[in-house]
Chains A and B, each alone.
Chain A
């Protein structure tokens, strides 16, 4: 679509900023975790000061209050300039922001939101070894002792936990009644005594997530979000941000990264191979449609319309397109892709096709698996009956 004059001006402004400051060579500078973290922190700081890091936040924050159309322009330009995706601050600017903004006290918001812009990073401590899709089955215990909770247990798959300052922590404060009723939401300091973190090695050689062990960790009661036993509802705000909002940026990035497939087609001399062109065309349309559905979702959200299940549709469509993208690259790349090449930490569309393929599972598993999203679409949108609960081994 053609831009209005205001949007055109914004686009020019973003382009000028990117021309001057977009990091080059960051892929080569993100080959080790340490380098990756340095690159990430540096780029986040620069984006914050330019006012492009948090376009989805309210206008009270510098760089916030952008309209949907403005957000789109920003994401499009960032994707075109092939800037690093902000993985390190991903949970901070989306999950932590949404949770604090929607559910926390004024005091908690004032304390934590500005610090995010100063570079404080968050991780999400929801999943446990025994509680994945069945998140409400968490066992990590918090016992109230005076004005602190004493927490014991284990979290797993916590993205970037090894670098995080703070954690969105889901704990059990009661075992009575339905599983959901005994859950409480806490904000935990990752430097607190009793917290230890062990990175998990992933199949593509990355260490994106980590285990968190909690041994008598004391968390002040003032760090609770919502009431005791009401944490499940707060957790829904966290999860909703992951399924909906983030996918707009990622969809636009994937659209930008279609150019990688195009270069592969040219490199291998497939420009006139009709089979290849068809498969590429199909992928292009699939990605365009994911962008359109993400746009529509945000557009509705801004108008205050959000139907249960919409985010599940976007998530499943995005993750399937991402898998198709990686697989087409893998197929066109041929045997060359079976030789190990350096990976780029934290990026989803890197052009290292085997790594991208493996990484694409992150989106069919994390944040509620593809199957769980299908349950939501079927039961909550199409109103199909739930399975009987009782099961005896």
Chain B
């Protein structure tokens, strides 16, 4: 695809996404806006995972941990805001999005730093298993926290406040998520093209070569992993606001798997791929689930098809249809 075609496509896409709530209302399917919001939030999480997985070659099977932690940050801060008691006796609660999102970034970043620092001592299958193990530890930690709902999760009575906007309104929430998705996409786009991204993609191709030209690969992978975890944390914080609920579900290993599936569906190591993958996944899930309770089965078949025949997910398919080589 040449540059002008790309720009035209981008503008069309932006216009469509901006008009989506109105189109949905016009077509009488307001639920579609909620579906699109979920796709955007998962898109943020998947795109973040893709930074580690697709660009950095770190196959993390534990990103649900960061997603769930972002959600629980919003939930726990809202809980303490409601009761008036401080968290751990000194951290006051909050219901301000401008507070909860930065805290979600901080906390998911800290968890990613710890989990990453330990997991990145290994590689290959071991790395996959150890990230999974850490995510399971986080899962059981939150299940055991009875104060915050344990197994049942934590209901968030009122969504966060953000410049007097009503985030309970579906359309408003959609636009917030659209804005965040655009921001995250832009940040990832810059990072991938920066010196850091240049080195990170080099590490994916050959860690041995990168060490031989003087790069301390561990530190760069760790920073990549932390940024990736933070992105998932932001998505989790948005999801908790959207659902008004934070639960162990967000931390389950199946959630890590779903994020991976979205990345693979859309195209590993591509910029838009994870967003496309998330949209396709959410759409398929809702369509297939209305046909059969065993919707995972047809989804699995579709995934198999994508992996075997598209070579680079949906984005790869589009690019090849657009005549781009390789």
B partners with A? no
